[in-house]
């Protein structure tokens, strides 16, 4: 082996890097540049992606319900800001409240919400949904009425189906007029689990 080969080989093997890279999210937050912080967390209804902005909780996504982490993050980059960073410590408060909720120890979320991913009628439907108390339910028609147009219950259904903050904005509390489950973005099984957590027992057997 010539000296040149030896040098090139040593250069290629590189200066040894540490196993863990320095954290960037804390420095980014300190500089006021952390527009969207996210983390994934485990829950009884599967892995959740949770994202906050300086205003509050902006997105909560079920990762296996046809949504990949990458596509959720791309949406956030396109609609909120491309300054999207994994920052588990920024998500401590949502994690704590969600854990308490699933353990049956929290009836109301106190997290500030960032509503910017919704607007117009859909926003009003979701705001009305957020006022339904723990353990209670309402019909699609009722929330449509609360949002200003009782006949627009189909539009209300669409708004609930694209709820950017499920669980915390409790779209699982909206049922069909006859007491049927209706639909749910994360799948009906999740809707049942969430209603069960809240002790709702009025569900008709399928």
Partner 1 sequence: MPHRRVSSVVNLPPFQQLLDLHGRDVHRFLVATVGRVDADDCYQETWVAALRAYPKLRDGSNLRSWIFTVAYRKAIDHIRARRRAPVAVGAVADTPSAAATGPPTTPDEDLWAQVRGLPDKQRTALAMRYVADAGYDEISAAMGTSEDAARRNVHEALKRLRTEYKR
Q: Which residues are catalytic?
A: 171
Choose, by CB under 8 A, the member of 14, 110, 178, 205 that binds partner 1. 14
Letters for 32-61 (x = contact with partner 1 by CB under 8 A, - = none) are -x--x-x-----------------------
Nearer to partner 1 (CB atom), residue 21 or residue 178: 21
Closest CA to 160 of 175, 149, 180: 175
Nearer to partner 1 (CB atom), residue 24 or residue 188: 24
In whole angstroms, what is the distance from residue 165 CA to residue 15 CA?
44
The SS3 of residue 31 is: coil
Residues 61-100 that bind partner 1 (CB under 8 A): 70, 73-74, 76-78, 81-86
| Interface segment toward partner 1; rule CB under 8 A; list 19-27, 39-47, 145-153, 187-195 | 19-27
For the chain, counts of helices (H) and of strands (E): 8, 6
What DSSP letter does each residue of 66-130 carry, written as one string?
S--HHHHHHHHHHHT-S-EEE-GGGGHHHHHHHHHHHTT--SS----B--TT--HHHHHHHHHHH
Considering the complex, what minimum distance in angstroms separates the CB of residue 52 from partner 1?
A: 14
Considering the complex, what minimum distance in angstroms separates the CB of residue 57 from partner 1?
A: 18
| Residue 1 sits in the site that holds partner 1 (CB under 8 A) | no
Angle at 78 between CA 116 and CA 117, to 5 degrees: 15
Choose, by CB under 8 A, the member of 1, 15, 119, 178 that binds partner 1. 15
Handedness of CA 54, 190, 101, 135 (dihedral sign): positive
Residues that bind partner 1 (CB under 8 A): 3-4, 7-8, 10-18, 21-24, 27-28, 31, 33, 36, 38, 70, 73-74, 76-78, 81-86
């Amino acid at each position: 082996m010539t000296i040149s080969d030896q040098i090139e080989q040593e250069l290629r093997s590189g200066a040894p890097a540490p196993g863990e890279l320095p954290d960037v999210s804390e420095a980014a937050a300190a500089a006021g540049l952390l527009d969207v912080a996210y983390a994934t967390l485990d829950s009884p209804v599967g892995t959740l992606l949770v994202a906050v902005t300086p205003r509050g909780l902006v997105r909560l996504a079920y990762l296996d319900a046809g949504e990949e982490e990458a596509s959720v993050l791309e949406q956030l980059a396109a609609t909120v800001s491309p300054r999207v960073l994994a920052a588990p410590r920024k998500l401590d408060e949502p994690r704590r409240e969600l854990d308490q909720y699933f353990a049956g120890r929290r009836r109301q979320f106190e997290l500030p919400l960032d509503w910017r991913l919704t607007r117009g009628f859909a926003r009003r439907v979701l705001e009305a949904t957020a006022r339904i108390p723990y353990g209670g339910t309402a019909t699609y028609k009722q929330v449509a009425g609360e949002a200003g147009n009782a006949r627009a219950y189909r539009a209300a259904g669409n708004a609930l189906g694209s709820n950017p903050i499920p669980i915390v904005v409790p779209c699982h509390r909206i049922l069909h007029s006859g007491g049927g489950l209706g639909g749910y973005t994360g799948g009906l099984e999740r809707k049942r689990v969430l209603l069960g957590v809240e002790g709702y027992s009025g569900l008709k057997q399928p």
